Amino acid sequence: MIPKVFKEVIDLGDGREISIETGKLAKQAHGSVVVQSGKCMLLCTVVSNYQQSDVDFLPLTVDYREKFAAAGRYPGGFFKREARPSDGEVLTMRLVDRVLRPLFPKDYHAETQVMIQLMSHDEEVMPDALAGLAASTAIQLSDIPFETPISEVRVGRIDGKFIINPTQSQLLESDIDMVIGASADSVMMVEGEMKEISEEEMVDAIKFAHDAIKVQCAAQVKLAEAFGKKETREYEPEREDEALAKKVHDLTYDKVYAVARAASAKHERSAAFEAIKEEVKATFTEEELADFGSLVSKYFYKAEKKAVRDLTLNEGLRLDGRKTTDIRPIWCEVDYLPSTHGSSIFTRGETQALATVTLGTSREANQIDMPSFEGEERFYLHYNFPPFSTGEARPLRGTSRREVGHGNLAQRALKGMVPLDCPYTVRVVSEVLESNGSSSMATVCAGTMALMDAGVQMKKPVSGIAMGLISDAETGKYAVLSDILGDEDHLGDMDFKVTGTADGITACQMDIKVKGLSYEILVNALKQAQAGRLHILGKLVETIAAPNADVKPHAPKMITRVIPNEFIGALIGPGGKVIQELQKATKTTIVINEDPITEEGIVEILGTGQAGIDAVLAKIDSLMFKPEVGGTYEVKVIKMLDFGAVVEYTQAPGNEVLLHVSELAWERTENVTDVVNMGDVFNVKYFGVDPKTRKEKVSRKALLEKPEGYVARPPRDNNDRGGRDNRGRDNRGRDNRRDDRKPRGDRKDD
């Protein structure tokens, strides 16, 4: 018997709906829900252990996976099974994790796992926009402690009109692609890309999304009540000691404040804070530290956080001595690496990124094979964050989720400024060499300069800045911090990164850690970010004002040629022989694609030597060469035969035609060599395709004057075959042959 199903429907206002239901699937999970929009269906489950883990953080895992069966497809590769998560899946995990994590109690340390699976795919529904709704609903249906329902939506804008959760086809027309995460009363996360929009337009999009999220949060509450809201589980809270907290605060606050005010460098400041911490610990016995040493560290961190925040709110000063709007010193350099196609260094304070650009053909495009999306990227960016960049030694375990996320943000910031007609596949790699505050924004700046250094004709340069916020709800004071340090990121109430050109925003990523942040503060923060972003942009332009006119001498030049479909086979040759030999002879790379609409061949020619590229172009021109009937063309003899000479058109090398011996001269020619020899160059007249031989016909004698007294040979009479006219099929005397011949079986008796 099918169990009772509980369901709520969310109206998106344009005929589309999202349903959330529970009670049918995965009932042993602590909470489970199926979210459906169109034919897209997500199953989300949540399980949290009842025992607290022996760690001082929440061991939360958010896992999002797309099943290929959901789209009626097989996984690629040799093993037909879903393997490690793709970058797209990792990015969706990060979108959900960043909103969920702050809403669990600070002292809740039970291992918690949220699993979201795409079970059915709809080509017009983007499942990542439903993942946050699914995760929050599953938690609401459980007994896990969680502050308030949240949801996430995607916002697009077409012709000035905002759209919630636009379809794949609508998103192609949209100038905004943002995902917003929020509770009913507070925006918590924003991430997306835009086509040079203003700060006010960005805030309007966030407001529009928040209104839709409020409806989705209410639907979750209604579903949980209908299902039967579970009592929140009890768990063992963290140990607290108010007296100890006051003692640590009194011992450390003033000292930390003094160090923070001294405007020291990162490692010097860290060492000073650590020394204060050790002084505090020295006031306790070994037995006391064994009993509550972890509390001492916890309360020291609280005192440190308060001292640093108070310094900024009270005096407008920061850990490195800057004022709230100051940007750290910047120096830049391009063309640093001699062998790369483009390179640059961007250094801002204690953050440094080295970016490289590599140019290639469509063969080097990044192939994306997900159940929800198939395609390729002709521009992509990879971000690497080695441990030495923060002065640490730790094992390398592959590309982290953080590296995937930061690289994607920088890629989205830059890709809109790479022209659509750029012939190359472009790969940017950012190597973070130092980090103390927003290496992703350093990557955007370094990437811009490396692209221009490589000769990629960017529409406009792009810069980026990381901003912070420190606020006090009791006093109403707040300070927006430009170009934040790593410590300010951890101690602040908001971390947001904004990238853009001089004319508008191209990408953003925002995490808000306080409730009820007013839109007024948000607008002020974005305006301050604009000023900082333009300051940094000026430093980039001072280093390289515009893209180099051409690629570097050692970088490959790319020429694209469109050819009719019927010539593709000739250029490739039998088994690829022609194109392979051509690539070898010209030292080029040749890639042929077919336009899906016109079915024309798009030939990409990549090579470092212009002579080689010119040779390939000449070969293509030769293959496409079509002489006109009646036209005169210069040819060269390339092969001698008994019955004529093979000649090629000098304006189209490789394009050959047979010059028959009868067309060499008006006089009878016994030997071809009597008239022409190898290497001879002369003119011929083109007559088109001979209807008798069905081969192209050219003539040398047609351009020569007839000799005086020349008499043409009479045409051959087809009926006069020298007495052989009685050899036709009907006159072969076979009508009466052996009519009386005996059957085969009787021949032996003859």
- Amino acid (one-letter) located at 168: Q
Alpha-helical (H) ranges within 114-262 are: 128-140, 168-173, 199-227, 242-261
Round to whole Å and give the CA distance between 359 and 474. Answer: 55
Task: Give Cβ neighbours of residue 698 (< 8 Å, ≥ 6 apart).
Answer: 633, 635, 647, 657, 658, 659, 663, 684, 685, 686, 687
Question: How many angstroms separate the first and last alpha carbons of the chain?
Answer: 92
Burial of 112-138, coded b for 16+ CB within 10 Å and e otherwise, reads: bbbbbbbbbbbeebbbbbbbbbbbbbb
The token pair that represents 112 in the structure block: 């918690």
Task: Classify 636 as helix, strand or coil.
Answer: strand
630 C-beta neighbours (distance < 10 Å), count? 10
CA atoms in the 13 A half-sphere facing the CB of 274: 6
Task: Give Cβ neighbours of residue 592 (< 8 Å, ≥ 6 apart).
Answer: 568, 571, 572, 579, 601, 602, 603, 604
Helices (H) and strands (E) in the chain, counts: 14, 29
Residue 580 · residue 613 · CB < 8 Å = no
Round to whole Å and give the CA distance between 78 and 75. Answer: 9
CA-wise closest residue to 192 among 206, 207, 213: 206
Round to whole Å and give the CA distance between 362 and 222. Answer: 51
Round to whole Å and give the CA distance between 305 and 298. Answer: 11
Cα 625 to the center of its chain, rounded Å:
40
Taking CA 185 as the corner, what is the angle to CA 180 and CA 188, rounded to the nearest 5 degrees?
A: 35
Task: Classify 514 as helix, strand or coil.
Answer: coil
Is 375 exposed, middle or buried, given 0-12, 13-18 or 19+ CB atoms closer than 10 A? Answer: exposed
CA-wise closest residue to 34 among 168, 126, 127: 127
Round to whole Å and give the CA distance between 83 and 3. Answer: 33
- Amino acid (one-letter) located at 539: K
The answer to the question of whether 489 is labelled as a binding residue is yes
Stretch (H or E) spanning 640: strand 632-641
Annotated binding site: 489, 495
Annotated binding site for Mg(2+): 489, 495
